[in-house]
Structure 1
């Protein structure tokens, strides 16, 4: 919903398209940046990067498969089939995975991993903050969501009384488990570093802050 002087109104078609397209690009940009920096990605992306590395898969395809799995989890959490949202989830992951792969390749071509360590860490944390900001925007729009972020939305408002931090931690427990299991099996780990810890402990906090400062007139449409 959009806050106006007279209350709240639904976003126009142009506003909805603008917010969705912007948040999708910012999210993919941030994820691509963190994967290329290799100083720690958001939990789901870090988990996908480890699967891709351990099994020689394309990270774009792993993210798409992850998205499909998250859709099934959301059905279990809500206990019903929300076909419009499921269709929106499919649209999102169809674009999201390839965009992340594109931005990852773009940043690797720029040689981001060869920059001085403090700069790489700063860029990695910037990427995670961009991810949280993008999630904040399209969660408030609540039109087309990445299924992983819809999971956070479901947990946040249906299970944890609006607490984004707890909802994010519960969400992240799944990819964290995958990372630990793969590390024990393959004795290697990738895309997990300072940035991953920052994402685990503070992404929910950044998301809460972004709700207030990034397009503050855009309010949650539950």
Structure 2
């Protein structure tokens, strides 16, 4: 739904699809940058990297598994199950897994030899881009990555609409997975300044996107759909 010139309107399918691909590209781009910079990925991406390290299976596989896990939790948290939306969220999550891997593989050769401060800056830009993309897709209320859907549900169901608290509650699970991997392997990968920035400030990035990008798009409480 969006607000324009004093009236409320439902988004058309064409508009929803446009915002869908804009969001998917921005979120995947940001994750790819942060993984390639290796200065600290978003917590769920870092969890996938650590699971890949201890199992020697592709990171993309665990990104997909995380999407499936989050989709299942989302179904448990809503009062009414919209199977079409759930299927769409899974499509988003699986496309995201592929896009992130492709972006990371593309950027890595260009970033690996850069000075440390430039890598940190690239990483922070990537994390910021993820938050901006999440803001857009949540307000479009079409389909989104199941993990972002989980954040949105937690935001309104448990934290009175607070984006920062909803995001942190989501990330605690991802960090716990990485800590278990660290206990198994003796090392932890994908963590750094970017992860800290993401953990504590990603909710603020989402809130910033709500206020400054596509401002006509409105947030709808997913627990009331």
Cα distance change on mapping 1:80 and 1:3 into 2, 3 Å: closer
TM-superposed deviation, 1:113: 2.1
- Change beyond 3 A, Cα 1:13–1:79: closer
Q: What is the distance in 2 between the residues matched to 1:45 and 1:79?
A: 29
Match of 2:177 in 1: 178
Contact 2:89 / 2:144 at 8 angstroms: preserved in 1? yes
Establish whether residue 6 from structure 1 lines up as the match of residue 26 from structure 2.
Answer: no
**Residue 189 to residue 31, structure 1, CA distance change in 2 (3 Å):** same
- What are the Cα deviations for residues 152-206 of structure 1, in whole angstroms up to 9, with x where unaligned? 1101112211011111111111111001111111011111000000000000011
Q: CA deviation at 1:14?
A: 2.2
Unmatched 5+ stretches in structure 1: none
Match of 1:81 in 2: 81
For the residues of structure 1 that align with 2:6 and 2:134, how far apart are their CA atoms?
Answer: 27
Deviation at 1:80, TM superposition (A): 4.7
Q: Distance in 2 between matches of 1:115 and 1:27?
A: 23
- Residue-pair matches, total: 221
Report the counterpart of residue 108 of structure 2 in structure 1.
108
d(CA) in 2 for partners of 1:72, 1:13: 26
CA displacement 1:88-122 (0-9 Å, x = unmatched): 11110121100000001001132x02200010000
What are structure 2's unaligned runs of at least 5 residues?
A: none
Superposed displacement of residue 40, structure 1: 0.5
2:131 matched residue in structure 1: 132
Q: Distance in 1 between matches of 2:186 and 2:114?
A: 27
Q: Over the residues paired in the alignment, what is the CA RMSD in angstroms?
A: 1.1
CA contact (8 A) 2:54 2:184 kept: no
Cα separation, 2, equivalents of 1:133 and 1:171: 17
Aligned to 1:196: 195
Report how far residue 79 of structure 1 moved.
4.9
**Distance in 2 separating the partners of 1:114 and 1:77:** 45
Q: Does 1:52 align with 2:52?
A: yes
Partner of 1:145 in structure 2?
A: 144
Contact 2:67 2:94 in 1 (8 A): no
SS at match of 1:114: coil
Question: Which moves more between the two structures, 148-157 or 12-21?
Answer: 12-21
Q: Give the whole-Å Cα distance in 1 for the aligned partners of 2:199 and 2:56.
A: 26
Counterpart of 1:66 in structure 2 is 66
